[in-house]
Structure 1
Amino acid sequence: MTARFDHGAWAETGVETVHPGVHRVPLPLPQDGLHAVNVYVLEGMAEDGGLVMIDGGWAVPEARKTLEAALAGLGYDLSAVRDVFVTHAHRDHYTQAVELRRAFGARVHLGAGERRGLELLNDMRGGIGSALRTLRQAGAQELAARVRLTYPDLYDPGHWEEPDRWLGAETLRFGEHALRVIPTPGHTRGHVVFLDARRGLLFSGDHVLPRITPSIGFEAADPGGRPLASYLESLRLMTDHADTRLLPAHGPVGPSTHTRVAELVAHHGERLARTLAVLGDDTRDAFTVACALPWTRRALDFTELNPLNQMLAVNETVAHLDVLALRGKVAVSRVEGVDRYTRMR
């Protein structure tokens, strides 16, 4: 059964048992280039024989039907889900957890650092407001206007409600099993991962992904500080623990968290160097730098990206330039609301 779940077929509908009692279920994502999000179904954790889930999926009918069929194949129905532990509040992870609570009484748990972002979404003032502000400060005002026209329909504030419990850095115990909650800010300020040290498993959400690098600081709330610096420190934190199998939210299960962490750190090191080289001896805004950088593993030109991915590219460029500033490699000045970067001599 697991032969289908290789690098090319991880998003196909089905159930992959990655460890006795631990099952990966890819759920479809509409209008999303990632194709699917992995949720993990854990047996033997709830006292009454119910199920625990890591992440909930996106609240769309296709995802609910897929989850229902997967649970039926394991001998359960949706009402068996007792708790959903969510890595972060993005729609493809959080909104179906809320639906499971509404329909069946499942409890929802979320990292405490997501509180501000969730408040903004609940108040209908969230969405991508922080990302649009970053675009304007990056000198990409025209792109910000284009994104604003096309993006709002992707958000329904009614899908976001407060969790039953806010999680800190703690250990959750389930009889002989335990999940250690590790805050990993970067992708969002409140992202957490769940470490099952006894079974050698890391439920990594979007923090450590096997094939792509996550967007940095993409959330309703102002990510605060320098999100890439936080992300790099959160990656380093993974090596403070024994190596584990990597159970990501997008992509196939991987054999080594430490190996992938090293690859991600190296990638960002290379990206920082390339960003500095593109900046050169000129004073430039982040939008200008982003336009001169290659994007994705296929080294696409900036103009080949759609507006949403152009927004993510500019925001990532800002994150890298801010780390370079933190390291004393560039100086930053704000002129008429736009940040401009100059290489230090």
Structure 2
Amino acid sequence: MPSTPDDETDYLPCATPDPGRWQEVAPGVLWIRLSLPFQLDHINVWALDGGAAGWTLVDCGLGDPRTRAAWELLLRDALGGRPVERVVVTHFHPDHIGAAGWLVERTGASFAASLTEWLFARTLSAGSDAATDAAVERFYRRSGLEPEALAAVLGRKGAYGRGVPSVPATLTRLRVGDRLPVGDRLWTVIGGSGHTAEPVSLHRQADAAGPGLLISGDQILPRISPNISAWPTEPEADPLADYLASLAGWSALPAETLVLPSHGRPFRGLHARAGELARHHAERLAEIEALCATPQTAAAVTRALFPRPLDTHQTVFALGEAVAHLNHLIAKGRLERRAAGPGVDLYRRVDDTAAVTAR
């Protein structure tokens, strides 16, 4: 995952809040930081002041006791005990939607997300069946994971439900281009794809009362690249093509927009950061294509891309990212996938000369 040195990023000049605390980053916009029990140890969530109607919360952290305890204090202190009008989630990942069911019940707020992200969350939180379990096992066996790593990954069964114990039963559906009123300000729903299927970001235009803002979710992050993964439920998908197309779309927003990301610190430089992320993926693709001059399993490609020791949680995301890049190269005609032994796939670079001869 690429890093951007601090001296090359125009970060907002304010203190980063401690876990469970907050910082105003624009009039009526609170930056709240919540803890996560992973190497990526925090998530930023956002509280938008809607005046008499109450607050709009964007993302909400995991559905665990620590997060609920943090929200109890935040509802009292950061939000002043005032009503919460709605809870918006950018996408279905547990650190974004995990506490949504509890928050909606606790506050009486409405719930808003894209339909796809809500359906994913509802499906995954309900648990799996035998067919799904078999598809998950087949996906990871095909990758060539070693037996110990395979057993650890398969042992994570039910991890989503532990982070997302409930999902709101009713939805206000968000579509690209929708205008979300918060007090006397409008936030426009911006689309995209790649990190998940139908994430939403929220954009507020600059005016005399404040700067242009983009709540970007995980689509644009300042120091790490959002995870772009293929998953067992859609093993041959090409989410990287979707993500690269989404990056190109950020050029439609003003370059000076203040980006409020889910991880890291608020920053300016949206267009430059989108370009950096596109170059990062181009470099990854070139690295993988060269590596596959000799046939490789997805697990071997993962080890080459992420040579540091990985825990099981990190292994799942690293392997998913490797498969996404492999699938993209297959779609581009640069690699081919062939079975090598029972249930294991090998990826090999397509020889340009042979490909021309075949045509």
TM over 0.5: yes
Alignment partners' CA distance in 2, 1:14 and 1:73: 9
* Map of 2:220 onto structure 1: 208
Higher mean alpha-carbon deviation, 159-168 vs 147-156, is at 147-156
Partner of 1:298: none
Q: What is the rounded CA distance, in whole Å, between the counterparts of 1:249 and 1:12 in structure 2? A: 14
From 66, 71, 75, the equivalent of 1:62 is 66
Distance 1:33 1:253, change over 3 A: same
**Within 5 A, what are the aligned runs for 1:178-197?**
178-197=186-205
- SS in structure 2 at match of 1:37: strand
Give, as a single letter, the amino acid of the residue that structure 2 aligns with 1:168.
R
Q: Which residue in 2 is equivalent to 1:272?
A: 285
In the alignment, structure 1 segments of 5+ residues that lack a partner are: 296-300
When Rg is computed on C-alpha atoms for both structures, the one with the higher figure is 2
1:253-268 matched pairs, under 5 angstroms: 253-268=266-281
> SS of the residue aligned with 1:92?
helix
Going from structure 1 to structure 2, the CA distance change for 1:291 and 1:88 (only over 3 Å counts) comes to same
Give 1:203 shift. Answer: 0.5
**Residue 109 (str. 1) matches residue 95 (str. 2):** no
One-letter amino acid matched to 1:109: A
Q: What is the DSSP-based 3-state SS (H/G/I as helix, E as strand, rest coil) of the residue aligned with 2:327?
A: helix
Number of aligned pairs? 328
The residue that corresponds to 1:125 in the other structure is 128
- Superposed, 1:82-161 pairs within 5 Å as 82-125=85-128, 133-140=138-145, 142=147, 143-150=149-156, 152-153=158-159, 155-156=161-162, 158-161=165-168
- CA offset at residue 228 of structure 1? 1.4
Tell me the secondary structure at the aligned position of residue 98 of structure 2: helix
**1:18 aligned partner:** 25
Deviations 1:68-115, CA, capped at 9 Å, x for gaps: 4344444522x6111111101111111212111112211111112224
Residue 4 (structure 1) aligns with: 15
Kindly provide the CA deviation profile for residues 172-229 of structure 1, in whole angstroms up to 9, marking residues without a partner as x. 2426421221222111112111111234111011111111112223778537731111
Alpha-carbon distance in structure 2 between the residues aligned to 1:306 and 1:229: 28
Task: Give the equivalent residue in structure 1 for 2:324.
Answer: 319
Moved more, 10-19 or 313-322: 10-19
Structure 1 pair 291–343 and aligned structure 2 pair: CA distance change class (3 A): same
User: Percent of pairs identical after alignment?
Assistant: 30
Call closer, same or farther: CA 1:102–1:133 in 2, change over 3 Å. farther
SS of match in other structure, 1:283: coil
**What SS does the aligned partner of 2:264 have?**
coil
Q: How does 1:221-240 map to 2 (within 5 A)?
A: 221-222=233-234, 225-240=237-252
Equivalent position amino acid for 1:164 in 2: L
Q: Which runs of 5+ in 2 are unaligned?
A: 1-11, 352-359
1:250 aligned partner: 263
Distance 1:309 1:326 in 2: 26
Q: Is the 8 A contact 1:25 1:41 kept in 2?
A: yes
Distance in 1 of aligned mates of 2:84 and 2:230: 29
- Which structure would you say has the larger RCO, counting Cα contacts within 8 Å and 6 or more residues apart? 2
Equivalent residue runs for 1:32-43 within 5 Å: 32-43=38-49
**Structure 1 residues 310 and 344: CA distance shift in structure 2, 3 A:** same
Partner in structure 1 of residue 310 of structure 2: 305
> How far apart in 2 are the matches of 1:229 and 1:133?
24
Q: CA RMSD in A?
A: 2.7
Note the C-alpha offset of 1:170: 2.7
The whole-number CA distance in structure 1 between the counterparts of 2:230 and 2:23 is: 30
Letter in 2 for 1:240: A
Hey, what's the Cα distance between the residues in 2 that align with 1:101 and 1:220? 31
- For the residues of structure 2 that align with 1:131 and 1:207, how far apart are their CA atoms? 26
User: For residue 59 of structure 1, what is the amino acid of its counterpart?
Assistant: G
Tell me which amino acid in the other structure corresponds to 2:238. Answer: R
Instruction: Name the TM-score, length of structure 1 as normaliser.
Output: 0.85
1:169 partner amino acid: V
